[in-house]
Chain A
Amino acid sequence: MKSAVVVFPASNCDRDMIVALEKITGQKPHIIWHQDTEIPDVDLIALPGGFSFGDYLRCGAMAASAPALKEVIRHADRGGNLIGVCNGFQVLTETGLLPGALMRNKSLKFICQDVTLKVENADTKFTNAYTQDQLIRIPVAHHDGNYFADDEKLKELEDEGRVVFRYVDKNGNATEDANINGSQNNIAGIINRRKNILGMMPHPERLIEAPQGGTDGRAFFESIINALN
């Protein structure tokens, strides 16, 4: 699988994403610099976590208008696969490739901890290696992960099965306590209607081998490989 990772000034999970993609796909990803106006032809583009442009203005706002994003959008428009993790998810909502917005966490504090996610839709290119309704443990690390969309959009996401991951408790219930950042409907990750663009706040690239404390993130990347074969 050929992949690429976009690097913005102050992306800081770019290396983690590159390492995860290389370890799981066996191929080193291309690096796309935010000012690039040409990008390689790849099977997957990843927008990594971090604080692109210092999160000044709004998280992801300035990255959304970086020159490379024009090409990334073109890639997605052609049906190319695109993921955004954490800051990458924020960039995807800022570009309008995914609906909604990510607001400040309800606690108003940065949160870094492992959370339990329910795989709400295992029938996507990004989740097929999980089982439907599987509970997985993945870390979050963000200040602005509180997902918001208007009622109409929210209904559309739910009705069309486009909520891919949800924050749940150990029993799989989407409780208020489990909703660490205050997201509407406990939403942790969503997909576009065409099912080629996924955004999520949790970091699957941080849990891909046992020493990291678990491997629940691996299946995320393995799903993409499955989908291409």
Chain B
Amino acid sequence: MTWNNNIEITPEMVKEHGLSKDEYKLCLEILGRSPTLTELGIFSVMWSEHCSYKSSKLHLKTLPTTAPWVIHGPGENAGVIDIGDGQAAIFKMESHNHPSYIEPYQGAATGVGGILRDVFTMGARPVANMNALRFGSPDHPKTRHLLSGVVEGIGGYGNCVGVPTVGGETNFHPSYDGNILVNAMTVGIADQDKIFLSAAAGIGNPVVYVGSKTGRDGIHGATMASAEFTEDSEEKRPTVQVGDPFTEKLLIEACLELMSTDMVVAIQDMGAAGLTSSSVEMASGGGVGFEFNLDNVPQREEGMTPYEMMLSESQERMLIVLKPGREAEAEAIFHKWDLDFAVIGKINDSGKLTLSFKGEVVADIPAGPLADNSPEYDRPWDQPTSAPELSYDDVAAPADMADSLLKMMASPNLCSRAWIWQQYDHQVMADTIQKPGGDAAVVRVHGTKKALAISTDCTPRYCYADPVEGGKLTVAETWRNITSVGATPMAITDCLNFGNPERPEIMGQFVGCIQGIREACATLDYPVVSGNVSLYNETNGTGIHPTPAIGGVGLMQDHDKMVTIAPQSEGEVLLLVGETKGHLGASIYLDVMEGREEGAPPAVDLKLEKKNGDFVRSQILDGNISACHDLSDGGLLVGLAEMAMAAKMGMDLGIENGDIPLHAYMYGEDQARYILSVPAHKADAILKDAKEAGLVIQKIGTTGGEALTINGNITISVSQLLDVHSHWMPDYMSIE
């Protein structure tokens, strides 16, 4: 290939690089001249939606991000919260949607790799991986292939690096037929006095490249992730990166070993836009300049140009600023772990990113303006609205209540996910004390009595029906899930997946969801500490349902107090906390039983959420509760069925549904509700406490037997439930 860095930049080239005319004008102003080809590439990726958040940052700024326990909020590689005893939990969720659709195994695998690096680059040992996955309709011809590849990719990477994948969520909906969502989250633990940031410092300090060699994979990945898909998206397969979890594992160990010394000034992983974004972020963050000799970059392929090196998204690479004179010591650590180590440049006071290649300067860009003066758009947006309320009177009762429950539990969105999580090593590190399948995953903080509870949630059908309420509901659900195991919800990471922001309707969904998240986080004292935005999840003009996935993290001081959703013995009393109104709008019942997607989502009263949740948590921590489950998809009856299946034990239910039709009472998705299973001798005291606290609470049955029995006349055997619940996914996936 003939390489001409100084080629004249034409309007076509600007367009191909995804830059608008105005953006290119800004680029000319910053440089005071025409860019070289390498520079054009650098501007292109830095100002892509994926890296610059140009459509979203105006709105993201409105989210609550502080609390006394927040050490680092958004802006760093991941969020950091104080978990006591000088320790910190560090976490973030990130999307890898576009690549996973094109190449599911590698797309998902490198999504896991990328988020792991965001966490260990800050000095944390990753202790848990989670995910939030959305696929198209099960009937769509690609869904099997995508589900299979994504799950294998997540497992293939996470299992090898030895970080347990402890939970997640998976949904199917036709709005994802052309754009699946793969959101991966990592949680790590660090000592608060050993947290590393990316801002470079120290004129003359060496800048070191470690990890894998640079190849041509992933060039323009960030740009791809910033555009809609069209029919020719398959052609973008070469822009998907290829992961090597073996190298990642070595990189984790080598970096943590390096960080245990005092050699590191700053460190940053090379994620989206690779060497470009990592170096620009480090230089601009520290207000310094970097000069690199690109000839020293370890290269996997011959004849790579500066353009390719700067835009490559080869995986498992890090950029480190070392203290001067410590290169040999640092190199020894990386060589012990068989990883490349190369000094590729040093810090100067120019404030510029200056790249030379074969003796020639190929790029010379002011790093500050490149990072900070990136475009910011106030895109037009339509005021989000809510779908009209749907009365339960407009939803037919099922012909047979027992059959309806079996049909619900065997449906794609409620059936067991064991087929997925059994492909993930969810136990390695031996600290997983609540496995997938419950409300939240729980991992011990190694060597302590503390534990972290983690939950990823989103109910896109709510967000579609009413973005503002949907945003609130999503945050509230993670909060409830964390509460249900006995943990105190601390903070969230958000992974905001939407369609094309240039359409006011989509932008309205985004703005609405942000508003809902903002209100929920503020009321629940549950700040956003990190996040990611994925826009342009559209194919041929059809967008996904708005999907602001939330990853919540909570803390337990004593993990022995944790509860699961499984009642412990027969004869326990089942208590329903919260008010049941039979809300069937936007419910899963409406979808599964009637094939209808309509109505407003349930209203969420955030103060009531807090009140009910705080009561439930205090009862758990007082040791009064044997099992707890929050109610969400499918409402009361689905929640009860999940508890019965987890315990492999029946329940005798006496339901007082008053004027509400039984099916609405049992499947309505009213919020702020929990089921508690409590030892019989404790039930009266709990009821009394709850009533004194002004909570709505009632006794709805007892545990025991081999079936769910409702009001003595509806009987569903637990073994039959287990059977239908466990079979859908393996059966579906076994069809060629």
Taking Cβ atoms with an 8 Å cutoff, the residues of A that contact B are 9-10, 12-13, 15-16, 19-20, 49-51, 53-56, 109-113, 139, 141, 143, 203, 205-206, 208, 211-213
Using CB atoms, name the residue of chain A closest to B165: A112
Is the CB–CB distance between A13 and B428 below 8 Å? yes
The complex places the Cα of A53 from the Cα of B245 at a distance, in Å, of 10
Known A-B contacts A10-B160, A211-B444; A110 and B425 likewise in contact (beta carbons under 8 Å): yes
Is the CB–CB distance between A19 and B246 below 8 Å? no
Across-interface contacts of B1 in A (CB, < 8 A): none
Task: List the 10 closest pairs (A to B, CB-CB), nearest first.
Answer: A12-B162, A54-B246, A16-B430, A51-B160, A141-B425, A10-B249, A211-B433, A112-B425, A110-B423, A110-B155
Interface membership of chain B positions 426-466, coded 1 if the CB is closer than 8 angstroms to chain A and 0 otherwise: 11111011010000000010000000000000000000000
Asked whether any CB of chain A lies closer than 8 Å to the CB of B161, the reply is yes
Across-interface contacts of B244 in A (CB, < 8 A): 54
Is the CB–CB distance between A113 and B246 below 8 Å? no
Is the CB–CB distance between A112 and B422 below 8 Å? yes
Known A-B contacts A51-B159, A54-B160, A112-B423; A9 and B429 likewise in contact (beta carbons under 8 Å): no
Is the CB–CB distance between B246 and A10 below 8 Å? yes
The complex places the Cα of A9 from the Cα of B248 at a distance, in Å, of 11
- How distant is B256 from chain A, measured CB to nearest CB, in Å? 12
Is the CB–CB distance between B426 and A112 below 8 Å? yes
Using CB atoms, name the residue of chain A closest to B155: A110
Across-interface contacts of B430 in A (CB, < 8 A): 15-16, 19-20, 205-206, 208, 212
Using CB atoms, name the residue of chain A closest to B161: A12
- How distant is A158 from chain B, measured CB to nearest CB, in Å? 29
B48-83: which have CB < 8 Å to A? none
Using CB atoms, name the residue of chain A closest to B423: A110
The complex places the Cα of A13 from the Cα of B441 at a distance, in Å, of 20
Is the CB–CB distance between B560 and A16 below 8 Å? no
Asked whether any CB of chain A lies closer than 8 Å to the CB of B615, the reply is no
- How distant is B441 from chain A, measured CB to nearest CB, in Å? 13
Is the CB–CB distance between B427 and A139 below 8 Å? yes
Asked whether any CB of chain A lies closer than 8 Å to the CB of B424, the reply is yes
Partner of B160, one of A55, A208, A213: A55
Q: Taking A50-B162, A54-B246 as given, write out 15 further A-B residue pairs in contact, using a Cβ cutoff of 8 Å, ordered by the A residue number.
A: A10-B249, A12-B161, A13-B428, A15-B430, A16-B429, A54-B247, A110-B152, A110-B155, A110-B156, A110-B424, A110-B425, A111-B423, A112-B422, A112-B427, A212-B427
The complex places the Cα of A15 from the Cα of B424 at a distance, in Å, of 19
Is the CB–CB distance between B152 and A51 below 8 Å? no
Q: Is the interface of A mostly helix, strand, loop or mixed?
A: mixed
The complex places the Cα of A113 from the Cα of B427 at a distance, in Å, of 9
The complex places the Cα of A113 from the Cα of B422 at a distance, in Å, of 6
Is the CB–CB distance between A51 and B245 below 8 Å? yes
Using CB atoms, name the residue of chain B closest to A49: B428
Q: What count of chain B residues pass the 8 Å CB interface test?
A: 32
Partner of A9, one of B156, B159, B338, B426: B338
The complex places the Cα of A110 from the Cα of B162 at a distance, in Å, of 14
Could you write out 10 A-B pairs with CB less than 8 Å apart?
A10-B160, A12-B160, A12-B249, A19-B430, A56-B246, A110-B156, A110-B425, A112-B423, A139-B427, A208-B430
- How distant is B442 from chain A, measured CB to nearest CB, in Å? 9
Asked whether any CB of chain A lies closer than 8 Å to the CB of B559, the reply is yes
Asked whether any CB of chain A lies closer than 8 Å to the CB of B337, the reply is yes
Asked whether any CB of chain A lies closer than 8 Å to the CB of B250, the reply is yes
Across-interface contacts of B421 in A (CB, < 8 A): 112
Across-interface contacts of A111 in B (CB, < 8 A): 422-423
The complex places the Cα of A203 from the Cα of B159 at a distance, in Å, of 14
The complex places the Cα of A162 from the Cα of B432 at a distance, in Å, of 33
Across-interface contacts of B424 in A (CB, < 8 A): 110, 112
The complex places the Cα of A106 from the Cα of B156 at a distance, in Å, of 17
Is the CB–CB distance between B159 and A10 below 8 Å? no
Across-interface contacts of A211 in B (CB, < 8 A): 433, 444, 559-560
Is the CB–CB distance between B433 and A212 below 8 Å? yes
Partner of B429, one of A15, A56, A139, A213: A15
Known A-B contacts A110-B159, A111-B422; A9 and B560 likewise in contact (beta carbons under 8 Å): no
Is the CB–CB distance between A9 and B428 below 8 Å? no
Across-interface contacts of A206 in B (CB, < 8 A): 427-428, 430
Using CB atoms, name the residue of chain A closest to B148: A109
- How distant is B428 from chain A, measured CB to nearest CB, in Å? 6
The complex places the Cα of A102 from the Cα of B204 at a distance, in Å, of 53
Across-interface contacts of A205 in B (CB, < 8 A): 430
The complex places the Cα of A111 from the Cα of B151 at a distance, in Å, of 12
Is the CB–CB distance between B433 and A141 below 8 Å? no
The complex places the Cα of A145 from the Cα of B483 at a distance, in Å, of 38
- How distant is A91 from chain B, measured CB to nearest CB, in Å? 16
Using CB atoms, name the residue of chain B closest to A50: B162
Using CB atoms, name the residue of chain B closest to A15: B429
The complex places the Cα of A126 from the Cα of B633 at a distance, in Å, of 47
Using CB atoms, name the residue of chain B closest to A205: B430
The complex places the Cα of A112 from the Cα of B425 at a distance, in Å, of 5
B403-430: which have CB < 8 Å to A? 418, 421-430
The complex places the Cα of A56 from the Cα of B156 at a distance, in Å, of 13
Interface membership of chain B positions 142-166, coded 1 if the CB is closer than 8 angstroms to chain A and 0 otherwise: 0000000000100110011110000
Is the CB–CB distance between A109 and B152 below 8 Å? yes
Across-interface contacts of A203 in B (CB, < 8 A): 427
Across-interface contacts of B423 in A (CB, < 8 A): 109-112
Is the CB–CB distance between A9 and B249 below 8 Å? yes
Question: Considering residues B160, B338, B418, which has the most beta carbons from chain A within 10 angstroms of its beta carbon?
Answer: B160
The complex places the Cα of A53 from the Cα of B244 at a distance, in Å, of 11
Known A-B contacts A110-B159, A211-B433, A211-B559; A53 and B425 likewise in contact (beta carbons under 8 Å): no
Across-interface contacts of B245 in A (CB, < 8 A): 51, 54
The complex places the Cα of A206 from the Cα of B426 at a distance, in Å, of 11
Across-interface contacts of A10 in B (CB, < 8 A): 160-162, 246, 249-250
The complex places the Cα of A178 from the Cα of B337 at a distance, in Å, of 39
Is the CB–CB distance between A213 and B433 below 8 Å? yes
The complex places the Cα of A198 from the Cα of B648 at a distance, in Å, of 35
Using CB atoms, name the residue of chain B closest to A54: B246
- How distant is B615 from chain A, measured CB to nearest CB, in Å? 25
The complex places the Cα of A49 from the Cα of B244 at a distance, in Å, of 19
Interface membership of chain B positions 642-674, coded 1 if the CB is closer than 8 angstroms to chain A and 0 otherwise: 000000000000000000000000000000000
